[in-house]
Amino acid sequence: MKTYQLNGTIYYCPVDLTLSVIGGRWQGLVIYSLREKAKRFNEIKRELVTINDKMLSQTLKKLVEQEILNRKSYNEIPPKVEYSLTEKGKKLLPIFTQMEKWGKEAVL
Amino acid sequence: MKTYQLNGTIYYCPVDLTLSVIGGRWQGLVIYSLREKAKRFNEIKRELVTINDKMLSQTLKKLVEQEILNRKSYNEIPPKVEYSLTEKGKKLLPIFTQMEKWGKEAVL
């Protein structure tokens, strides 16, 4: 049986694997918020409105581990840290384009 | 501010709305399992392997309420109930095509 692997977890279905990356509401929205450019923690937080610091930290950490996001810290005072999509992360964007399209048309 | 609505819930972002439909692992996988044809409860269950009856019932109920799935019951003995994608549900399939593609390529 063909299997797919991400960070040591084995999936039997490629869609299941992808859902593990974008499926959680916050993970999906954080990726989407970085579609155009790198952003700092507080910029992402402002955009996602109802997310709290703990949830955002956890979400960013997981996405960095999954190699979806880069975390770049600049040697400045005050310290500056930016998050951006990796090449692998950018390849998720066609999924978001389709999600955006469906969400706009779905209105009941 | 533009808003998007699904079953009485208001979203400020179309991607957030779509994630509420496909984002949960089981919801996404149930939709994906019906991409080609209508299926009965036990057929879906077999395909999803680790889902239990309660989770599958809840997931199907929610997707029927969201008008993503049709539930058709046939007047037979024993009773037969089939689930299939609605027109709105079918429009989600391009998202799954992209998820499948990414999942196949993502292997670390």
Distance CA A85, CA B34 (A): 32
Write down the pLDDT at residue A107: 63
Å from A90 to nearest chain B CA? 10
Whether A102 has a pLDDT exceeding 60, the answer reads: yes
3-state secondary structure B67-93: CCEEEEEECCCCCEEEEEECHHHHCCH
pLDDT > 90 in chain B, percent: 75
CATH number 3.40.50.2300 given to B4-96: no
**Mean pLDDT value across chain B:** 92
Write down the pLDDT at residue B38: 97
With contact defined as beta carbons under 8 Å apart, do B95 and B18 qualify? yes
Distance CA A79, CA A52 (A): 21
pLDDT tens-digit profile of A71-98? 999 988 888 999 999 999 999 999 999 9
Å from A67 to nearest chain B CA? 9
Complex ipTM, two decimals? 0.89
- How many pairs of residues across A and B have Cβ atoms under 8 Å apart? 127
Q: Identify which of A83, A106, A100, A99 has the alpha carbon closest to the alpha carbon of residue A19.
A: A99
Q: Which two tokens stand for residue A6?
A: 């991400």
Question: Running DSSP on this structure, what letter comes out for residue A43?
Answer: H
Å from B79 to nearest chain A CA? 31
Measured in Å, how far apart are chain B's first and last C-alpha atoms? 41
Chain B residue closest in CA terms to A8: B108
CB contacts, 8 Å: A15 with chain B: 28-29, 32, 96, 99-100, 103
- Residue A25 to residues A9, A22, A75, A102, Cα–Cα distance (Å): 20, 7, 32, 16
Q: Do A23 and B25 touch (CB under 8 A)?
A: yes
CB contacts, 8 Å: B29 with chain A: 13, 15-16, 19
Write down the pLDDT at residue B99: 96
Q: Which two tokens stand for residue B72?
A: 């058709």
Whether B108 has a pLDDT exceeding 60, the answer reads: no
Write down the pLDDT at residue A78: 84
What pTM was computed for the model?
0.90
Whether A43 has a pLDDT exceeding 80, the answer reads: yes
**H or E stretch including B10?**
strand B9-11
A10 three-class SS:
strand
Pick the CATH number of A25-105 from 3.40.50.450, 2.60.120.10, 1.10.10.10, 1.10.3720.10: 1.10.10.10
Whether A38 has a pLDDT exceeding 90, the answer reads: yes
B84 pLDDT tier (thresholds 50, 70, 90): very high
Q: Which two tokens stand for residue A85?
A: 């999509």
pLDDT tens-digit profile of B10-36? 898 999 999 999 998 899 999 999 999
- Arithmetic mean of pLDDT, A20-48: 94
Chain A residue closest in CA terms to B87: A106
A7 pLDDT tier (thresholds 50, 70, 90): confident
